[in-house]
Amino acid sequence: MAQRIGNYTIKLDKQPSVLGYAAVVGKKEGQGPLGRNFDMVYEDTLIGQKSWEKAESVLQREAVKKALEKAGCQPSDMDGIIAGDLLNQCISSTFGLEPFDIPFLGVYGACSTMAESLLVGSMMIDSGAANKCVCVTSSHFASSERQFRFPLEYGGQRPPTAQWTVTGSGSVILGSSGSDICITEMSVGKIVDAGIKDANNMGAAMAKSAAVTLLNYFSDTGYDPKQFDMIATGDLGFVGSQILIELLSREGINLGDKYTDCGLLIFDRDKQGVDSGGSGCGCSASVLCAYILNGLKEGKLKDVLFIATGALMSPTSVQQGESIPGVAHLIRFNKISN
Amino acid sequence: MAQRIGNYTIKLDKQPSVLGYAAVVGKKEGQGPLGRNFDMVYEDTLIGQKSWEKAESVLQREAVKKALEKAGCQPSDMDGIIAGDLLNQCISSTFGLEPFDIPFLGVYGACSTMAESLLVGSMMIDSGAANKCVCVTSSHFASSERQFRFPLEYGGQRPPTAQWTVTGSGSVILGSSGSDICITEMSVGKIVDAGIKDANNMGAAMAKSAAVTLLNYFSDTGYDPKQFDMIATGDLGFVGSQILIELLSREGINLGDKYTDCGLLIFDRDKQGVDSGGSGCGCSASVLCAYILNGLKEGKLKDVLFIATGALMSPTSVQQGESIPGVAHLIRFNKISN
């Protein structure tokens, strides 16, 4: 059973276990600082498919396959798969995951999807609705750019606040027991509108939602940011991270040197020309499944807050003059000593 | 706690209660056979907004407001809101629900969204992650047509297999106790690809997924369709319903005269020119919240299976030659006698 702490935080007594995880990425991500950590790097942007959308489906399918392998599980062992992505109607999940024949719950949280799928998966495990389940998401630079901004062939210029959509996927297998890496607490984020209307400044649009989720979490629990080994936001990038630090410091909270952002970890901003950093559902998902969970497995990390952030907009809403609200969900991972 | 029965069915010991519900619809739906049952009928397709997308957001917001009122609850009493819709990146949920300031989980299940949101909401209640939550979805004929098919101004012809996207929204408030209408069992559907490629024949694309979910449920539980007062699919329409009946009869299951489809209930096919019937997330949601739940409240119905069906496609996937997979989630509602 779960217990509610304060207004926003959910404490999981059953502590869902991370049984396996995997991350697969594209060439540019493979050339970045975390290159060696990924389970697979695809040199071909199309991964042998006829379209970028189909390539993104392959990323999701391969991430799940590898995570299942590493967990020593078969698709038929899974009671549910919780997935979503950035493409219209979440088609990379549909077409990527159909062959597994696992009961499917589609989620949409923009780039917060990895945390949302872990949240729903943890509730499934916690309630007993599932004994084992898969959480997965993906993004692809080329399928995202042409859907959200311009066709790549157009060669549009990027402002320095722009972020680079990660080509990648991360997948986690959760179970009711069987691993010393557990999800112990989580917090469902609210839709927070900071009034940002610039679709080339997603970090700024999402920073306030991350601040609200973290403030609510620290207020509910009374914890100090210092007690965590890592506090990692999803894809605020350089611009958004600075705003988050500033917003929290105004509220008397110093995130300290344990704070980082998956969008800053995955690329070398000085050398890789990604402007403000990485973004996309696949950004936080692949960094979680290649770097953060490895750190927990190896014992370098024991207590981590993972806060994936999403910008809840569409080209239609931007064209109709709406601002870009954000959402951020929090997951606490612990290495449990036996 | 939930118990798993067989491979696909989840039995909820805690039996989440339906504390309130409401349905709001457009003019055409108000003129249909269920017209008197809706909480509000909007004569103006734009509902005073500048775009159909914004009008759809209003539908969702008003359905939640009315459901909260009828439940005697405030938005601040809610620990979560689970919502999604058909628009790209689910923007009618984002912009419709932001003002409530409730922790938000976005789901995407195409027209199966009402069942999916009830499924996730029930797990939240069952696990103790929420004491009360809101489930909601919507669709709008005009926003859907221009996104999925043609601009309305183009005046494209409709084949007889086409369905009419419902302009409407339905919302349910769930709680851990407090009502004699309860969710007692549920079943998460799989992605089922029947190989249909015609975006004007959604009923055929979704029928097999409904058949698979119902077969799994009857196989898991050993129940007979006869024991239910109503078995209602989401929006298979006339064509899809006939296929479902045929597919199940081949497996030796006779759905009998208790079977119906929300897409057939909401419109008068002879008089309203809707071809195969109603469709859209708002179809099953508004029929559930205006007709089925009223039947349970009044005691006319005591044991109902609600199987919302979704077609997991996008214009991009159809243009790229992909088929249209379906998904169907099952929710069992019971009137509990004290």
Output the DSSP codes for B208-227.
HHHHHHHHHHHHHH---GGG
Q: Calculate the alpha carbon distances from A273 to A32, A162, A163, A269, B294 in Å.
A: 11, 11, 10, 6, 59
Query: Do A105 and B91 count as a contact with CB atoms less than 8 A apart?
Result: no
* Residues B123, B78: Cα–Cα separation, whole Å: 15
The candidate with the shortest Cα–Cα distance to B17, out of B162, B182, B148, is B182
- Predicted confidence at residue A154, as pLDDT, reads 87
Question: Which H helix or E strand runs over A80?
Answer: strand A80-85
Q: Are residues A41 and A108 in the same domain?
A: yes
* Residues B320, B100: Cα–Cα separation, whole Å: 39
Q: Is residue B115 within 8 angstroms of chain A, CB to CB? A: no
**Joined tokens for residue A298:** 């190896």
CB A202 within 8 A of CB A210: no
**Cα nearest neighbour of B314 on chain A:** A89
Q: Is residue A109 within 8 angstroms of chain B, CB to CB? A: yes
Q: Which of B191, B322, B330 to mutate to test the interface with A (most CBs of A within 10 A)?
A: B191
* Residues B176, B185: Cα–Cα separation, whole Å: 15
* Residues B40, B24: Cα–Cα separation, whole Å: 5
Q: Are residues A7 and A81 in the same domain?
A: yes
Q: Are residues A185 and A168 in the same domain?
A: no
Q: Are residues B203 and B233 in the same domain?
A: yes
Task: Please count the CA atoms within 13 angstroms of the CA of B17 that sit on its side-chain side.
Answer: 13
Is residue B130 predicted with pLDDT exceeding 70? Answer: yes
CB B168 within 8 A of CB B137: no
Q: Which residues of B are less than 8 Å from A311 in CB distance?
A: none
Pairing mode of beta strands A230-233, A303-311: parallel
**Cα nearest neighbour of A209 on chain B:** B103
* Residues B18, B301: Cα–Cα separation, whole Å: 15
- Predicted confidence at residue A337, as pLDDT, reads 82
Average pLDDT score, chain B: 96
Contact map slice: A 270-309 vs B, CB within 8 A: none
- How many domains does one find in chain A? 2
User: Which residues lie closer than 8 Å to B285 by C-beta, 6 or more apart?
Assistant: B23, B63, B113, B114, B136, B137, B138, B168, B169, B170, B171, B308
Q: Are residues A205 and A311 in the same domain?
A: yes
Rounded (10°) angle between helices B237-250 and B202-221: 40
Query: Do A128 and B317 count as a contact with CB atoms less than 8 A apart?
Result: no
Mean pLDDT of B19-41: 98
**Cα nearest neighbour of B127 on chain A:** A127
**Joined tokens for residue B234:** 């989401």
Query: Do B191 and A130 count as a contact with CB atoms less than 8 A apart?
Result: no
Mean pLDDT of B289-299: 98
Contact map slice: A 77-96 vs B, CB within 8 A: 79-80, 84, 86-91, 94-95
pLDDT digit string, tens, across residues B50-99:
999 999 999 999 999 999 999 999 999 999 999 999 999 999 999 999 99
Instruction: Give φ, ψ of B85 to 5 degrees.
Output: -160, -175
Q: Calculate the alpha carbon distances from A74 to A66, A132, A133, A224 in Å.
A: 11, 11, 11, 40
Question: Is residue A127 classed exposed, middle or buried when 0-12, 13-18 and 19+ CB atoms within 10 A define those classes?
Answer: buried
Q: Are residues A122 and A207 in the same domain?
A: no
- Predicted confidence at residue A153, as pLDDT, reads 87
Instruction: Give φ, ψ of A336 to 5 degrees.
Output: -95, 125
Query: Do B50 and A313 count as a contact with CB atoms less than 8 A apart?
Result: no
pLDDT digit string, tens, across residues B164-207:
999 999 999 999 999 999 999 999 999 999 999 998 999 999 99
* Residues A336, A1: Cα–Cα separation, whole Å: 18
Task: Indicate the residue among A175, A206, A236 that finishes a domain.
Answer: A175
* Residues A129, A114: Cα–Cα separation, whole Å: 20
Q: Which of B104, B125, B214 to mutate to test the interface with A (most CBs of A within 10 A)?
A: B104
* DSSP annotation of A191: P
What's the CATH code of the domain at A204?
Answer: 3.40.47.40
Query: Do B325 and A51 count as a contact with CB atoms less than 8 A apart?
Result: no
Q: Are residues A150 and A248 in the same domain?
A: no
* DSSP annotation of A201: -
- Predicted confidence at residue B154, as pLDDT, reads 87
Question: Is residue B109 classed exposed, middle or buried when 0-12, 13-18 and 19+ CB atoms within 10 A define those classes?
Answer: buried
Task: Indicate the residue among B145, B175, B205 that finishes a domain.
Answer: B175
Contact map slice: B 309-328 vs A, CB within 8 A: 312-317, 320, 322, 325, 327
The candidate with the shortest Cα–Cα distance to B129, out of A79, A121, A225, A172, is A121
Q: What is the mean pLDDT of each run of 10 residues along chain A (338 residues)?
A: 95 96 98 98 97 98 98 98 97 97 98 98 97 98 92 88 97 97 98 94 96 98 97 98 98 96 98 96 98 98 98 94 97 91
- Predicted confidence at residue B338, as pLDDT, reads 62
CB A176 within 8 A of CB A14: yes
CB B113 within 8 A of CB B281: yes
Task: Indicate the residue among B175, B193, B212 that finishes a domain.
Answer: B175
Pairing mode of beta strands B168-175, B132-139: antiparallel
Neighbours of B177 (CB within 10 A): 12
Neighbours of A232 (CB within 10 A): 25
**Cα nearest neighbour of A86 on chain B:** B89
pLDDT digit string, tens, across residues B225-274:
999 999 999 999 999 999 999 999 999 999 999 999 999 999 999 999 99
CB B28 within 8 A of CB B167: yes
- Predicted confidence at residue A338, as pLDDT, reads 62
Amino acid at A140: H
Q: Is residue A151 within 8 angstroms of chain B, CB to CB? A: no
Question: Which of A51, A108, A189 has its CB closest to that of B108?
Answer: A108
Task: Please count the CA atoms within 13 angstroms of the CA of B260 that sit on its side-chain side.
Answer: 17
CB A308 within 8 A of CB A86: no
Rg (CA), chain A: 18
Query: Do B123 and A127 count as a contact with CB atoms less than 8 A apart?
Result: yes
Q: Is residue A149 within 8 angstroms of chain B, CB to CB? A: no
- Predicted confidence at residue A262, as pLDDT, reads 98
Distance from CA of B152 to the nearest CA of A (A): 17
Q: Are residues B247 and B146 in the same domain?
A: no
Q: Which of A12, A74, A188 to mutate to test the interface with B (most CBs of B within 10 A)?
A: A188
User: Which residues lie closer than 8 Å to A272 by C-beta, 6 or more apart?
Assistant: A28, A31, A32, A164
Q: What does the angle CA B21 – CA B95 – CA B47 come to, to the nearest 5 degrees?
A: 70
**Joined tokens for residue A146:** 């042409």
Distance from CA of B268 to the nearest CA of A (A): 29
- Predicted confidence at residue B334, as pLDDT, reads 98
**Joined tokens for residue A292:** 């953060």
Q: Is residue B188 within 8 angstroms of chain A, CB to CB? A: yes
* DSSP annotation of B107: B
Query: Do A123 and B127 count as a contact with CB atoms less than 8 A apart?
Result: yes
Q: Are residues B23 and B78 in the same domain?
A: yes
- Please give the residue range of the domain that contains residue B273: 181-335
Distance from CA of B202 to the nearest CA of A (A): 15
The candidate with the shortest Cα–Cα distance to A274, out of A166, A156, A170, is A166
Residue owning tokens 């009671």: A79
* DSSP annotation of B27: H
Q: Are residues A166 and A288 in the same domain?
A: no
Question: Which of B1, B188, B315 has its CB closest to that of A127?
Answer: B1
* Residues A326, B54: Cα–Cα separation, whole Å: 18
Query: Do B129 and A90 count as a contact with CB atoms less than 8 A apart?
Result: no
Distance from CA of B7 to the nearest CA of A (A): 8
If DSSP codes are grouped into helix, strand and coil, which group holds residue B198? Answer: coil
Q: Are residues B171 and B185 in the same domain?
A: no
The candidate with the shortest Cα–Cα distance to A106, out of B138, B109, B8, is B109
Q: Which of A174, A187, A191, A327 to mutate to test the interface with B (most CBs of B within 10 A)?
A: A191
Q: What is the ipTM of this complex?
A: 0.97
Q: Are residues B137 and B228 in the same domain?
A: no
Query: Do B119 and A98 count as a contact with CB atoms less than 8 A apart?
Result: no
